[in-house]
Structure 1
């Protein structure tokens, strides 16, 4: 007959049914930790019969990690103090599914302190364990996000401060460099201008001496000094043009009324040819329209391009000068053959103090092509270079007429 208990209102409770179908699992172990009693609840949870569980070591009901944790931590604790509470372990069901539970245990001993049996109660903890994991993960995520945000804010503040400081430093350095550059270029302009006066005096003296009766040696010295003086005048003119361009004034041009350009080009060609009698210059001029330009400046540019072509071109092949009209524009090209200009040199070819051949023997300031391009720009045109194994070609494109200024709007 089932054991019963009397309740306060006169009802009775079936104590055996309470044990078997309690809302928690009951397991009793002998002193060798073998299962001697187990209730129906835990059998149902694990989908095992009591016969499958009874007589087997309790640790076989646990998953491998829980078994190791139980044997190394909680079994010794149970031996020392006789109980433990809310130990989180995983039981293994019949289908190998893990069942998270919380276990409480208490030992029963005789008067001499010998272990008689151990009672264990087991409570399902899947939802609780899931909730705890979610809380831990959420806390870790929040801490990680907070730390990352703090780090990001600190990094942004540091970068902003560094950027502002660097920007202020660069602006101050740029302002200082601009002032220094303006002073240098103003000095160059003044110096170049003032040097022209003593050179003019030297040139006048040379002309006076050229009318005197001189020895052959004197004639040679006079010619040499004259050439050197002319070269100095050219260099000073280049420096003055450079200084004007750098000071924002640009290369000054004085446009003459429209007129034929062919005589100007022929004069430049004759000058280059007389200075280089061993070089062939092939000319192809197809100009029928008048050109409005600064003839002196245009001659200066063409002379520079032809001179460079003679110096750097293949001496066995001719230098060519071609000029034609194209859609209301002047297209003038100077072509030579020889080694192509390297790409890295072409990038800076029109920069001041740049030379086409690093380490070359040609003496000069490296301002010729810079000034040539500025002359083209001052005429509303462009000066481009194309260089490959076939040829090196400098091409000027500019309007035949100066643009008509727009009338101011009323």
Structure 2
């Protein structure tokens, strides 16, 4: 008989345990009649609401405990849905505590029905989500603060970029002008250092701004046709001076199967390749840097390409390969101290590749070198689009183009005026947007250079006013935005205002020339820039024999058929070349490196226009030999003879050109 009491005690304990779990569960339990009248409730729910059990079981309905908004939702959605499907899960309500405080809750309800399907009662589980709501509010507040901080940072960077770029425009612009002036070798060196330092500062500023815009999600990819070979050549040419100063060889290897025209974002691709090539030159002390492009696979409408930049530089330790792509990070403290930089270049490159759906691969060995590569799939371009490519300074002169310059900064105006005047561009200058609108209305211009930030009326509003003028010509008039702010992030504003294109300040002369040539010269009559029969004249006078190591073609292109300008250019060049013959020989005879380097630098632009590659190579070798104090005199004299022979050949052709009249 002893077993009977034990079973009763065990059953009693089980009963107590079940009741205890129900009463003190971490969630509330209530049972109601179909009309909401509460018939059972646990202690947890009573504790949350502050009511006694008798108060709720004396005819209170569940909906009577809700806020007004929750009551409406209960009647219009909750009750009908419960009757229709017999259950509801995760419904949000607000309970009202006995002391009138609000309690956010989440409920699950199941309806019990009889055999005929008639509702008998509702069983509801209640979860108190006060803490969750508090966290959600804190997260929303934190998100709002973060968004405000990002906006404040973007606004600050936009403002500071304009404030910094405005004086930088003056520094870079005046440096360019000084380089064209007659200066002593020492002054030339000062100008070179000034320009290099200002360009470095501008590069740092651009890196910070670009990274900020990318982080804010304001960068998107464009699609337009471009020549990838030309893109790579221009990047290598632009960075070639830095490589030349370090004695590095820069090689370009392009697969013959690479299509001429591709469709993509040449600006972003240029930025990626420029970052990689610039880094390769920066971290390589001797040897070479190679830019390679090969075809992985050709498709009917696209090409899969591999871009690779390889150097023989300092290399990167294996345990640091991952860190180099982090923002504001370089491979080591020693590298940062020696080479400087923001550590943003590769971080920006990685993010730009993310936009393309590509990733960077890197192979490196300390003391041996590094190789960075990435793959892109680009659409094939149409040959018909070739005519829409921006024309470069070497492709077309802009003499006679009429330009309106709207700019309120005196220094910027001075720099722009000097370049426009030297290019034979006719121009007027106004200092605010309202004056620009009045000038455009009263006169005919081929192009407008419009600063964005001006008094009275800014560039955006001025452009909108011009576009809204009734005549059709105002809607076709090219208007180029000039801004000290970075273009990234301005695209939408520029497009909505009606700008044709954008030029960043401080600008390089070549960039500004190209913009004017691309947009402004469209309305110049052929007779203004080209004389009839020019093609025949070129065939008769300008075609250099294959063996000649120079050409007058660039001279002809630059003067665009203006015979008077061509004769003046040839006459000036002839005088300079005759002077160079004497100066180079004297420098070689006396071993004067400074004098030799000064005249080599002075004549470099002219010789590049002449495409005098053999002479340029000889001058480079002459500088190297003069710099070597123990250099062999016979080799130096041999180089001197090459220089004299090449100059004689150029002089002979220039004289023949002048005799044609």
Task: Pick the TM interval, shorter chain.
Answer: 0.5 to 0.7
* Counterpart Cα distance in 1 of 2:162 and 2:353: 24
**Is this contact kept in 1: 2:280–2:310, CA < 8 A?**
yes
The CA deviation at 1:381 is: 4.3
**1:6-405 correspondence runs (5 A):** 128-147=1-20, 153=26, 160-250=129-219, 253=222, 255-259=223-227, 261-276=228-243, 277-279=246-248, 281=250, 283-287=252-256, 288-289=258-259, 290-311=261-282, 319-327=289-297, 328-336=303-311, 338-342=315-319, 346=322, 349-357=324-332, 360-361=335-336, 362-378=339-355, 380-387=356-363, 393-401=371-379
The CA deviation at 1:401 is: 1.9
Secondary structure of the residue that 1:291 maps to in structure 2?
Answer: strand
Structure 2 match to 1:20:
none
* Counterpart Cα distance in 2 of 1:358 and 1:152: 58
Q: Assess, with a 3 A threshold, how the Cα gap between structure 1 residues 147 and 382 changes in structure 2: closer, same or farther.
A: same
**Is this contact kept in 2: 1:293–1:402, CA < 8 A?**
no
TM-score (norm 2): 0.36
Q: Which structure has more helix as a fraction of its residues? A: 2
Secondary structure of the residue that 2:26 maps to in structure 1?
Answer: helix
Q: Assess, with a 3 A threshold, how the Cα gap between structure 1 residues 166 and 148 changes in structure 2: closer, same or farther.
A: same
* Counterpart Cα distance in 1 of 2:319 and 2:24: 49
The CA deviation at 1:375 is: 3.7
* Counterpart Cα distance in 2 of 1:238 and 1:139: 76
* Counterpart Cα distance in 2 of 1:192 and 1:218: 30
**Is this contact kept in 2: 1:332–1:395, CA < 8 A?**
yes
RMSD between aligned residues: 3.8
Q: Assess, with a 3 A threshold, how the Cα gap between structure 1 residues 280 and 179 changes in structure 2: closer, same or farther.
A: same
Q: Assess, with a 3 A threshold, how the Cα gap between structure 1 residues 268 and 207 changes in structure 2: closer, same or farther.
A: closer
Structure 2 match to 1:79:
none
TM-score (norm 1): 0.55
Q: Assess, with a 3 A threshold, how the Cα gap between structure 1 residues 159 and 339 changes in structure 2: closer, same or farther.
A: farther
Number of aligned residue pairs: give it. Answer: 271
The CA deviation at 1:185 is: 1.5
5+ long unaligned stretches in structure 2 = 29-43, 45-125, 298-302, 383-661
The CA deviation at 1:265 is: 1.6
**Is this contact kept in 2: 1:256–1:294, CA < 8 A?**
yes
**Is this contact kept in 2: 1:332–1:397, CA < 8 A?**
yes
Q: Assess, with a 3 A threshold, how the Cα gap between structure 1 residues 181 and 257 changes in structure 2: closer, same or farther.
A: same
* Counterpart Cα distance in 2 of 1:190 and 1:252: 25
Secondary structure of the residue that 1:400 maps to in structure 2?
Answer: strand
* Counterpart Cα distance in 1 of 2:15 and 2:173: 90
The CA deviation at 1:349 is: 4.8
Q: Assess, with a 3 A threshold, how the Cα gap between structure 1 residues 207 and 349 changes in structure 2: closer, same or farther.
A: closer
The CA deviation at 1:173 is: 0.9
